[in-house]
Copies of this chain bind each other. A is one copy, B any other.
Amino acid sequence: MDKKYMELALREAEKAYNEGEIPVGAVIVEDGKVLSFAHNIKNKSNSVIDHAEIIAITEASKIKHNWRLDECDIYITVEPCPMCASAIHQSRIKNIYYGCSSGRENNTKIVKEILKQDEINRKTIMTGGLLGKECMTLINNFFNNKRKK
């Protein structure tokens, strides 16, 4: 776990913020090398698939010419949704480091279940709270501004 990768994920989340997208950023790292980074572009691309994590996984798989990312870690500014958690798990990513919680208890519960699905002979380990305050502030600012409008 290295704070500098979460700082990069936060820069990605800020790009989403500036584009009017829910500010989430993701970075995939292998052996101290950044493989890919991305931010949420769901509204711009008109696709629920285009979460930061999915774009980062797609890019990392392209670079490695392999869907197995079993030596990689992913840094995400916010706890993943079930779609992204399952994509991360299926790609065999070792560790998820996220910043702040989704604030939705049921989401956390489902995500934890997904990460220990045993048909994939591997568990993804998830650790939260890395630069949690900064990640949370960005999300809160986004939704507060949205409410004001």
Partner-B contacts on A (CB < 8 A): 42-43, 46-49, 54, 57-58, 61-62, 64-67, 81-87, 90-91, 104, 106-107, 109-110, 113-114, 117-119
Check B57 against A48 for contact (C-beta < 8 Å).
yes
- A72–B114 CA distance with the chains assembled, in angstroms: 26
Check A65 against B82 for contact (C-beta < 8 Å).
no
How far does the Cβ of A53 sit from chain B's closest Cβ, in whole Å? 10
Tell me which residues across on chain B come within 8 A of A81, comparing CB atoms: 86, 90
**Identical copies of this chain, number:** 2
**Chain B residue nearest to A92 in the complex (CB):** B48
Contact of A49 among B46, B48, B49, B113 (CB under 8 A): B49
Tell me which residues across on chain B come within 8 A of A119, comparing CB atoms: 104, 106-107
A to B CB contacts below 8 Å, 12 in the list: A47-B58, A47-B61, A48-B57, A48-B67, A49-B49, A82-B117, A83-B83, A83-B86, A106-B118, A107-B117, A107-B119, A109-B113
